[in-house]
Structure 1
Amino acid sequence: MTTTVVTHQPGIIAQSQVVVQVTERDWSTSLFGCFEDIGSCLCGWLCYPCFACQVATNAGEHCITPCCVPGAMIALRLKVRARLNIQGSLCNDCLVDTFCGPCSACQMHREINNSSNGHLQ
């Protein structure tokens, strides 16, 4: 009796791996860059819940997410950073949203508008 050991599957071609390095960039506007878009800044400060819902919608999430999900704006900031290759950290996202939520929402709103047609892809 003979034992046969198969080391390569017939018909399968070895695939090469492509490594793509994506460089992260900084935000296109500063956290306190409200003078670059006064309308969204006023909306963010005067009616933050409504504005947060608008930012969530523009980021591709359901509009009531910021009102119903704890920590939604932190997660949303992380999503915007990841999709648009913006440098930062989860710790920084938490601090920015905790201590200046309206400014964070305004910055995300400006970033989405500056980098696309007003919605994340």
Structure 2
Amino acid sequence: MKKLNKTKEDLNPNDVGMSSFVGDKSKTIGVLSLKLTMADQTEVAAFYVVESNVDYNILLGRDWIHQSGCIPSSLFQLLFFWDGQKVSTHSTDEKPFETHAMQAWITMTTLDGSS
């Protein structure tokens, strides 16, 4: 939220529960409505905010993906958009494999207790 120049006062309170990729449960600290621009399309999107130490900034939900006509590729770390005439491509993570390798190492050392 620091990068967006937002504080907890900008959040709309809620008590939605979330699950992480590994099944950890947590509560959101609020919802933040932001203008999201991708592929020459600007829409207001609601982002559920959680306190977490992760390697990604946002997760785009299934509803947003379908509404925006986005085709995400986790293999190529790209988002594809079709506007009826052409496909536009947007990169997501500049170095996805470095990020995921580091996250895997941190997770493994945490799980087995080694450092």
Alignment TM-score, normalising by the size of structure 1: 0.21
Q: Which has the higher strand share?
A: 2
Larger Rg: 1
Greater RCO (Cα-Cα under 8 Å, separation 6 or more): 1
Which structure: greater helix fraction?
Answer: 1
TM-score between the two structures when normalised by the length of structure 2: 0.22
